[in-house]
Structure 1
């Protein structure tokens, strides 16, 4: 149970950091979360690769249209939030209307190692 609490605490600390960087703007945080999920998907694709084949960083590139489709936030609102996130250095604007989030693979690995193996709470399956 301690490992589960540690992982939850780590996640809440990270979320608080992201929330502060977003200026407590819930839509900007939601947009940033879309990038984190896309980045997680990219990281999972390379799990089986050797360290020599995998790059030191993982990147996810999304457009305002794709984020709008994922979040159901109107595209113009997403576009404004992307500019805010880029101004705050959380993502960077790429060519055209694309934006990219890049994180060090080692930082992702450290977070995952702290969070696993999670112990399932008593009767977790019954709650599903």
Structure 2
């Protein structure tokens, strides 16, 4: 089903602490709508950022009325983004842990952007123990 953003409004009215709304938000327009319908103090991005980690930044940029240039707009820009993300994870966590950490992100990128990847390609990417394979 779809998140009931109006139900969050009842929670907001019942508590005196800040409320963060979440559920089915993947664009600046949806973020504005959930805030309007719920009366929440903030919005959180969940699954919509899987394979598109720039979504939260684009929502924040729209809320701040600024532009963002972090959204890859061409296949090459997307490939560069994914490679940079992968390399940063290897650098941060080290090769062994970085490979494990990166797999979920690579899987999300494949799910969202590479629907034509074969099962064999996907398996090779997600089970590799060598960062350059």
TM-score (norm 1): 0.28
Q: Which has the higher contact order (CA 8 A, sep 6+)?
A: 1
TM-score (norm 2): 0.27
Which protein has the larger Cα radius of gyration, Structure 1 or Structure 2? Answer: 2
The answer to which structure has the higher strand fraction is 1
